[in-house]
Amino acid sequence: DTGVSQNPRHKITKRGQNVTFRCDPISEHNRLYWYRQTLGQGPEFLTYFQNEAQLEKSRLLSDRFSAERPKGSFSTLEIQRTEQGDSAMYLCASSQAGNIQYFGAGTRLSVL
Amino acid sequence: ELKVEQNPLFLSMQEGKNYTIYCNYSTTSDRLYWYRQDPGKSLESLFVLLSNGAVKQEGRLMASLDTKARLSTLHITAAVHDLSATYFCAVVSNSDEKLTFGTGTRLTIIP
């Protein structure tokens, strides 16, 4: 078990570009979560999946954000037309339902 | 809406001293977590507290939960430099599975 894996670790992009992040959860975990963390703050919930079903989305998740988990394994988070305010650490976590969420190392996004 | 507050936000302690971090939350919850985060790194799970009166200890850290007061504490005993990090509490509401985090407590242990 290698834990939750996120790629890339760092992404620098220009405003208006699209970016996509990938998360590979712990293999036996059926739940997968995305959070966003800005400097000096705690992580904020964005969305989560149970298997391939997206069960909840935060109000923070504007229509420029979309997440998928097509086969109930890895997940992608896409941000279209990035804005400077999107700069943050994007964290992925996985769990068995009702149990501890284990976090990946995150993808740090910088929008110039 | 579930709100989670931690205090203090910043804490500088001398090695060998004891201190407590407080976590208050606004609505009923059946689970509370404590996580540690080192600079530039992800979150490491420390404790999960499931019921009123629950107490967990690991090394110099001890966490407790009072569900009636909606309060959890993280007590640090005889602090050492390796404990310097940011500590977050996070609460799961009874109606869904997302974590709501506090703002974190940045702990610095001074030799």
pLDDT digit string, tens, across residues B52-103? 888 999 999 999 999 999 999 999 999 999 999 999 999 997 667 889 999 9
* A52 close contact with B: CB closer than 8 A: no
How far is the alpha carbon of B1 from chain A, nearest alpha carbon, in Å?
12
Q: Taking chain B, what is the end-to-end CA distance rounded to the nearest angstrom?
A: 41
Inform me whether the C-beta atom of residue B11 falls under 8 Å from chain A C-beta atoms: no
How far apart (Å, rounded) are the C-alpha atoms in residues A45 and A6? 17
The answer to whether B98 contacts A33, with C-beta atoms less than 8 Å apart, is: yes
| pLDDT score of B28 | 82
Lowest mean per-residue pLDDT among B2-11, B32-41, B68-77, B87-96 = B87-96
Q: How many secondary structure helices (H) and strands (E) does chain A include?
A: 0, 11
Q: Collect all residues with Cβ–Cβ distance below 8 Å to A30 and sequence separation of at least 6.
A: A50, A51, A72, A96, A97
Q: CB-based contact (8 Å) between A102 and chain B?
A: yes
CB atoms A31 and B97 under 8 Å: yes
Secondary structure of residue A79 in the 3-state scheme: strand
Confidence of residue B1 (pLDDT cuts 50, 70, 90): confident
Contact yes or no for B48 and A106 at CB 8 A: no
* A-proximal residues of B, 70-89, CB under 8 Å: 88
